[in-house]
């Protein structure tokens, strides 16, 4: 199965059983570029926020993983605040072709609720968590959620 067929199949599967917490859209009829809108997880500083993600699939997808960047600003140790780059092992060393774009969006929602401060792209967020200041981290993450993610749309 070539990349185009795989991506088309993923889109059709998503349309058949949409996820309430994830909206996936093909960008300008290009199967290799998608936009996702993911809901912030409940009981986290990201709750009620919506984050826009840009997904680019390589020509050899699913053999190689897509790249995913946050478009909406996010204060999180595993998200670069300026570029939106995501540090998630399944997008790099632990990639498997069985995973879908919808699964990756679900993994990003999980990442929001379970930050990993050991390999931070955002050192400020990582330092707050590593120093045990979860109140400070949650406060900053909530402030940026209110400022950036409450009005996000596709």
CATH number of the domain where residue 40 is located:
3.10.110.10
pLDDT at 111: 97
Contact 141, 46 (CB under 8 A): yes
Q: How many domains does the chain have?
A: 1
What's the whole-number mean pLDDT along residues 13-41? 95
- The answer to whether position 26 is within a domain reads yes
- Tell me what percent of the residues of the chain surpass a pLDDT of 90: 93
- The answer to whether position 105 is within a domain reads yes
Look up 105 and say whether it is catalytic: no
Say which of 57, 74, 87, 123 is annotated catalytic.
87
What's the whole-number mean pLDDT along residues 128-143? 97
- The answer to whether position 79 is within a domain reads yes
Task: Report how far residue 56's alpha carbon sits from residue 104's, in angstroms, rounded to the nearest whole number.
Answer: 12
pLDDT at 72: 97
SS3 label, residue 113: helix
- The answer to whether position 154 is within a domain reads no
Is the confidence at residue 11, as pLDDT, over 80? Answer: yes
**Average pLDDT across the chain, whole number:** 95
29 band by pLDDT with thresholds 50, 70 and 90:
confident
- The answer to whether position 54 is within a domain reads yes
- The answer to whether position 87 is within a domain reads yes
pLDDT at 86: 96
pLDDT at 132: 96
- The answer to whether position 16 is within a domain reads yes
Which residues are 38's β-sheet partners?
22, 51
- The answer to whether position 101 is within a domain reads yes
Is the confidence at residue 128, as pLDDT, over 80? Answer: yes
Cα distance between the two ends of the chain: 30
Task: Report how far residue 124's alpha carbon sits from residue 98's, in angstroms, rounded to the nearest whole number.
Answer: 34
The boundaries of the domain holding residue 7 are 3-149
pLDDT at 151: 82
Is the confidence at residue 13, as pLDDT, over 90? Answer: yes
pLDDT at 1: 66
């Amino acid at each position: 199965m070539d990349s185009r067929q795989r991506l088309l199949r993923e889109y059709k599967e998503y349309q058949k059983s949409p996820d309430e917490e994830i909206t996936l859209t093909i960008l300008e009829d290009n199967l290799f570029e998608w936009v996702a809108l993911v809901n912030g997880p409940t009981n986290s500083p990201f709750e009620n926020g919506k984050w826009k993600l840009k997904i680019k699939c390589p020509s050899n997808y699913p053999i190689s993983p897509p790249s995913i960047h946050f478009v909406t600003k996010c204060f999180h140790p595993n998200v670069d605040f300026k570029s939106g780059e995501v540090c998630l092992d399944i997008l790099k060393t632990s990639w498997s072709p069985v995973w879908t774009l919808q699964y990756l969006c679900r993994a990003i929602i999980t990442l929001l609720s379970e930050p990993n401060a050991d390999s931070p792209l955002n050192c400020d967020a990582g330092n707050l968590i590593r120093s045990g200041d979860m109140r400070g981290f949650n406060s900053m993450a909530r402030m940026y959620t209110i400022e950036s993610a409450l009005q996000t749309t596709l």
